[in-house]
Structure 1
Amino acid sequence: MPVATPAQYRAMLDAAQQGGYAYPAINVTSLPTINGALKAFAESKSDGIIQVSTGGGEFASGTAVKDMALGAIVLAEAVHLLAERYNILVALHTDHCQPKKVDTFLKPLIAATAARRAAGKGNLFNSHMLDASELPLAENMRLSKDLIIECAKHEIILEVEAGVVGGEEDGHDTSGVAADKLYTTPEDMLTVYETLTPLGRFMFAATFGNVHGSYKPGAVKLKPTILKDGQAAVTDKYGAKAEMDLVFHGGSGTPLEEIRETLGYGVVKMNIDTDTQYAFTRPIADHILKNYAGVLKIDGEIGDKKIYDPRSYLKKAEQGLCDRMKEACNDLLSTGKTIFGTV
């Protein structure tokens, strides 16, 4: 069963933490994006994480329905079926759910997992992200506590964020936040650890200058040592085993040496969205521009059905995404490290 069980997912995170590598986590919106991700993980012999945002879920449900939870369920069920054909493990995750969307996104998905478990099936999702970074830390932690307790009942891992990832992604715009909010403090990291550790397993999207979107190298000023300092604040007080599972958001355009540096500070998951969107769309643009007359029925002509058949360019888009994800596996050192068949 290549969609990881709760125990296998915990083992994946443990293996990454101990092995000094991280999993690419790709946002999917459709069957071609799912298939491109699965192909990439399989060809890289890397386990990985497939995730759905609120906007991705809404898109997948169709323009007439616009139900973010329903669309996320559709995509997750598709991953469960398709992943059976691959000899790697993938985990299912949701990305950036703000507090105002908890009742319409996270809670229905947690309920869907509960229903599957009651029917003797595996979890629908392995983990969920609550992005309550817009709230003061005390309010963020109150909401996080409520959700981690609910998630733990069903062996779901909760990802939380303290500090703000800048920029805009999927309609979530934080471009106007104060600069100091882009950096999580060691005190914040200690608070998160002490608040959530007794309640269940979690991942922590600590921020160190990361910004969503695509930027030229050097445009985003990261401070990876913030992760090092925050982890030290925790491990100095609670011991080496207290090192947290960290998540890297907003990594587009990050130099490879800075990506690799974060792996040494406990990053086990890196979100890949902007770059894979471009990798998916670029082959479609090439196809249209190179086959303009065949795609369009110009001046009363009939075009070329083989060229305007959506499959002709979506296959290329799937491969473009696959190639970019294989690059991510190499960057994050997860290539060749699948634990499929060992746990």
Structure 2
Amino acid sequence: MSLVSMNEILPAARKAGRAIGAFNAANYETAVAIIKAAEAEKSPVILQLYSRLFGNGKAEALGGLLIRLAEKCSQPVAVHMDHGESIEQVRNALSWGYTSVMLDGSRLPFAENVAVTSEAVALAHAVGASAEGEIGHVAMGDATALSDVEETCRFAAATKVDALAVSIGTAHGYYKQTPKLDLELCRQIGERLPGLPLVLHGGTGTPLEDVQKAITLGITKINIATEFQHTFLKAVQADLEAANGNFIPVDKFMDAPIERCAEHLRKLIRAFALR
């Protein structure tokens, strides 16, 4: 149990036809909420950090905390770098003890994406970590570039990634209008790559019914960032307003937002497990 790579949880989930939640932490409170939800649901979980935190010193400092929380958790927890932007970030994450990394080369030409992702995979595998890549491009807002089936299969074979993010109609952040997932595309990719865990980025605001259909077609890792972070901020704001200017010690004040965030994640974990 405790600290693992994604290779120790995703292949079994793909075989069982369920998905694992991958939630973006940003501080102690959001990280603890993820751990609490995993333990309450007796479920593996992926605790991940935004790549921007790897460029400002925060990922190194938070890494020790995340790893310690994972090691003490009764359930398997992978500590993952989300949307890594460079090989330098990959090297840093692995040297700080992260058990999984993503190199996002989806904006690059195909050959360059293959080359840089393959390098990241080799670095991760050398230390027993797992690596995720992306083909097609999941953008911010509503603009996105769908994955091509043949290109996706060539990319998976060339890079040997452990998990592959595909673009089937989702986008990062909140949507301006309800997204329409290309479930037929998902089905085709899933059938061509039956042993490879597929990743859905842009889980926030995507209709849960569509997410669950995608899980039955091979999606095995669901990324949730904006929705989770916003849940935390709204909980803090509501409690600050309820305090009406009265002083509450910060550690005690944060207990309630942590619990509400954990409860929100518990519902998602159950949904992703198709329970």
- The TM-score normalised by the length of structure 2 is 0.92
Q: Deviations over 1:126-171 (max 9, x none)?
A: 2101111111111111111222122221122110011111216xxx
Report what 1:130 is aligned to: 103
TM-fit CA distance, 1:280: 0.6
Q: Match of 1:305, SS?
A: coil
Structure 2 CA distance for aligned equivalents of residues 334 and 76 of structure 1: 31
Contact 1:275 1:324 in 2 (8 A): no
Structure 1 CA distance for aligned equivalents of residues 118 and 43 of structure 2: 32
Identity %: 24
Structure 2 CA distance for aligned equivalents of residues 57 and 165 of structure 1: 20
Q: Does 1:215 align with 2:175?
A: yes
Q: Runs of 5+ in structure 2 lacking a partner?
A: none
Q: Match of 2:105, SS?
A: coil
TM-fit CA distance, 1:82: 2.5
Report what 2:239 is aligned to: 287
1:153 to 126, 143, 163: 126
Contact 2:43 2:75 in 1 (8 A): yes
Report matched runs for 1:1-343 at 5 Å. 2-4=2-4, 6=5, 9-57=6-54, 66-67=56-57, 71-98=58-85, 101-103=86-88, 105-112=89-96, 124-167=97-140, 182-197=145-160, 201-215=161-175, 219-232=178-191, 234=192, 242-292=194-244, 295=245, 304-306=246-248, 309-333=249-273
| Aligned amino acid, residue 210 of structure 1 | T
Structure 2 CA distance for aligned equivalents of residues 147 and 131 of structure 1: 10
RMSD: 2.0
Larger radius of gyration: 1
| Aligned amino acid, residue 64 of structure 2 | E
Q: Match of 2:138, SS?
A: coil
| Aligned amino acid, residue 77 of structure 1 | G
| Aligned amino acid, residue 39 of structure 2 | A
Q: Deviations over 1:36-95 (max 9, x none)?
A: 11001100111100011122345xxxxxxx32xxx2232222123223443211111100
Contact 2:212 2:274 in 1 (8 A): no
- State how many pairs are aligned: 275
TM-fit CA distance, 1:193: 2.1
TM-fit CA distance, 1:224: 2.3
- The TM-score normalised by the length of structure 1 is 0.75
Greater share of residues in strand: 2
Structure 2 CA distance for aligned equivalents of residues 267 and 26 of structure 1: 16
Contact 2:19 2:219 in 1 (8 A): yes
Structure 1 CA distance for aligned equivalents of residues 203 and 107 of structure 2: 20
Structure 2 CA distance for aligned equivalents of residues 84 and 128 of structure 1: 18
| Aligned amino acid, residue 191 of structure 1 | R
TM-fit CA distance, 1:227: 1.6
TM-fit CA distance, 1:334: 7.0
Q: Runs of 5+ in structure 1 lacking a partner?
A: 59-65, 113-123, 169-174, 236-241, 296-303, 336-343
Contact 1:189 1:231 in 2 (8 A): no
Structure 2 CA distance for aligned equivalents of residues 328 and 95 of structure 1: 19
Structure 2 CA distance for aligned equivalents of residues 156 and 252 of structure 1: 27
Contact 2:90 2:120 in 1 (8 A): no
